[in-house]
Structure 1
């Protein structure tokens, strides 16, 4: 589903995605319409603008996920301002691209988002991770005595690589494992940590100091 308040841009994005082989199940121009249509069509991926007719993309992200919790949100915005990026991620977006991205980059980002990977325009991933590290350093960021799920050594190792932004294929190559084995470990880790995607897993890893190599 494509959500954008500019009809020409919205139609162009929908057309580009359809040409790339995606099924565009709905379009919307605002928060209210995005919620209504998401509830009906339950889109796998929502390509979301940050400035909408009746609110923000962050508000629309919250509304869409409330009625379609399995949807994944990829923001496509003209803004690369820190506040907008962090607002979108905190609302539940799993990726953020600026509108200067090419059609090929957009298609790849939608596929990655559908697979549960966090996708960010270069430079923005570091901003998000930096914010998570800042939050993790605050007192009571992780409640004292909070139970920590039991991860195997391999799951911890793979989570550390996920937190560094590596894809499953890159992790597989680095650890001499098959791509499927890595994906199985990632999904098992997500279940144990009760997280929905790589962004949430990365936040968990940073909060618990798992994003750093054990010998550093």
Structure 2
């Protein structure tokens, strides 16, 4: 059973998401919070698998709450936003969020997103996410970081190629076809990449790939 904590400053949104998710046979809503401080406390007390995190809230916002939850718990954070490209989402991805969804998402897509994140994957397939990450690293303030580039030496050639394909938004099946290996082998490569680079998930791996210079936006 996937345990979910819903964080949003609007009662109607929390109630709506809770109704949709509680109707799923494999998902249960274990709590709700209306701001970042309450979210951190609830995440520590309730041990959710996934936190649906509103990005803009009064008081402590979603970015800081995401960073603290990711640093102190094993919960995966799925960011909620009203906008397809939101300045605050960049910070949330850097803070450790496993992906983001729009608040007008269909109910079946919401449940699917929660399951995907709970399983340790990231929401990278939608074109909107790829555009978000590319826009993040295209900015002049986020050029190639030598410190990150040096860490690429930790990877084997095959792992580096796998990371390059992950950063392009390829699924495990697509990577397997490209490299002529099994999906199980791809999963093993991804797990080793995350461990060697000290990354939480594929979202952070994508940001790392761009910021280290392994992948260049627009190429």
Distance 1:205 1:136 in 2: 16
Contact 1:161 1:211 in 2 (8 A): no
Contact 1:96 1:119 in 2 (8 A): yes
User: What is the TM-score with the length of structure 1 in the denominator?
Assistant: 0.85
Residue of 135, 139, 145 corresponding to 1:134? 139
Distance 1:142 1:160 in 2: 18
CA displacement 1:139-174 (0-9 Å, x = unmatched): 7x2239945443222212211110101121222233
Show structure 1 runs of 5+ residues with no match.
none
Number of residue pairs matched by the alignment: 211
Q: Which moved more, 1:201-210 or 1:141-150?
A: 141-150
CA RMSD of aligned residues (A): 2.5
CA displacement 1:33-58 (0-9 Å, x = unmatched): 11111111222211111233433211
User: What is the TM-score with the length of structure 2 in the denominator?
Assistant: 0.84
Distance 1:211 1:46 in 2: 30
Q: Which moved more, 1:90-99 or 1:127-136?
A: 127-136
Which residue in 2 is equivalent to 1:150? 154
Residue of 56, 66, 91 corresponding to 1:51? 56
The reply to whether residue 192 of structure 1 matches residue 196 of structure 2 is: yes
Contact 1:48 1:57 in 2 (8 A): yes
Distance 1:154 1:107 in 2: 34
Distance 1:148 1:91 in 2: 21
